[in-house]
Each structure stands twice: as structure tokens, then as C-alpha cells.
Amino acid sequence: MLHYCKELDVALEVYVMETMANLFQSDNAFGGSATVRRRIANDMQGYISEMLAKAVNQKRSHAELDATTAITSFVSKKLRRPRPERNL
């Protein structure tokens, strides 16, 4: 099919369908297993709310928050799950 598109000079576009049901997988996070996007989004919102509540309680709500540090901290503390053992 791609051969004919190229031969006939038919322009192609990338179509990406993204839903909250998409799975994300990384060997460095989530215990190495796939995780549903809605869980990541909801956990991230909860984590940011938790950090904001702590900052307000400590009267540090005007302090700068480094996004990289926040995301790294979120992934390492909230989403690390042990890998399930595989019986081979």
C-alpha cells in the first residue's frame, strides 16, 4: 500500500488516537509493567495536590517548583510497584 502511495504521489498523514485507556510501559517506572494512562493522570493530579497542600501548610506556597524534580519524585515515590514474578 505504501509503495502505491509513493508511486502515485499520494500525501499521507499520521493519525494518532489517544485515549485515557492507552497503556504506558517503561522499564524504569511502574515496576516495569504497563500502566493505564488514566491512572498516571489521576495519580499525578493527586500528587500535585498533596505537594500543594504541604506547601500551604508550611507557608511556602510562593516557592518555586522545579517540574523535572516534581515528576521524577512522583514517578519514584508514587508509581514504583514491584514487578510480578514470572514463572517460566
Q: What is the pLDDT of residues 32-88, one digit of tens each?
A: 888 898 988 888 888 888 888 887 777 765 666 666 666 666 666 655 555 555 554
pTM of this structure: 0.50
> How many CB atoms lie under 10 A from the CB of residue 29?
19
d(CA 32, CA 57): 35
Q: Would you kindly state where each structural domain of the chain is located, as residue ranges?
A: 2-78
Q: What does the pLDDT read at residue 28?
A: 80
d(CA 45, CA 30): 17
Give the burial class of 14: count Cβ atoms within 10 A of its Cβ; 0-12 exposed, 13-18 middle, 19 or more buried: exposed
